[in-house]
A = this chain, B = another copy of it.
């Protein structure tokens, strides 16, 4: 259940519990979940804490409240993968059937004009360049090229870049959390280097996704170009008009 010695705050632990209960279908759609008082008794928390957790899940759209009646499980969203809530990159990472990452390059380089303009820095400023390839099985599906300003993340560690998401590492080490994303998509032919890395022919269609991540204070802390093999990847969007 809940572990008060766990450094993870109780509300976050409860959030996970409720979230999995919803996801696993333990609580039926449009049926009431246990009341705030019941939950607070069950888990030994105050009602306020329970309520705070439920409020978060309500904001996310997983639950809805009806005064005097209770709290209910929402209809499953059409779009869990709505781009309004998740970057295209996260979307793809969730699709993942046993996705494996290989780190190809990790180095500090001076930013060229293109990179500098994307990151809002001066050309020549040092950035950390990270190149990775994603595989499903032994087939490469995408090539990731990330640029992170050294001025914002000076001592970025190479460790775990194959096992952890870059944004997770950046948030943990430097506190930068994505508040807004600017993405662009286009179709480009593979050049020689890309073709070799992705094991396809030169000129083959790639889906290029550019991703600029901003934190709440407006700092641009990551610029990533992802090249997807056109034959392997299809992006999907769902939204209301």
Query: B214 near A75 (CB under 8 angstroms)?
Result: yes
- Choose among B203, B218, B237 the residue that contacts A182 (Cβ–Cβ < 8 A): B237
Say whether, besides A74-B216, A82-B84, A230-B189, A237 and B184 are in contact (CB < 8 Å). yes
Among A189, A206, A237, A238, residue most surrounded by chain B Cβ atoms (within 10 Å): A237
Check B216 against A187 for contact (C-beta < 8 Å).
Answer: no
Partner of A217, one of B59, B74, B78, B235: B74
Contact A228 B180 (CB under 8 A): no
| Chain A positions 72 through 89: 1 when the CB is less than 8 Å from some CB of chain B, otherwise 0 | 101101110011110110
Query: Contact between B205 and A206 (Cβ–Cβ < 8 Å)?
Result: yes
Tell me the A215-236 residues at the B interface (CB within 8 Å). 215-218, 228, 230, 233-236
Q: In whole angstroms, how far apart are the Cα atoms of A236 and B185 in the complex?
A: 6
A239 at the interface (CB under 8 A from B): yes
A96 within 8 Å of B by Cβ? no
Q: Which of B79, B178, B182, B228 contacts A78 (CB 8 A)?
A: B182
- Nearest Cβ on chain B to A15's Cβ, whole angstroms: 14
Check A197 for interface membership: any CB of B closer than 8 A: no
Q: Is the CB of B74 within 8 A of A236?
A: no
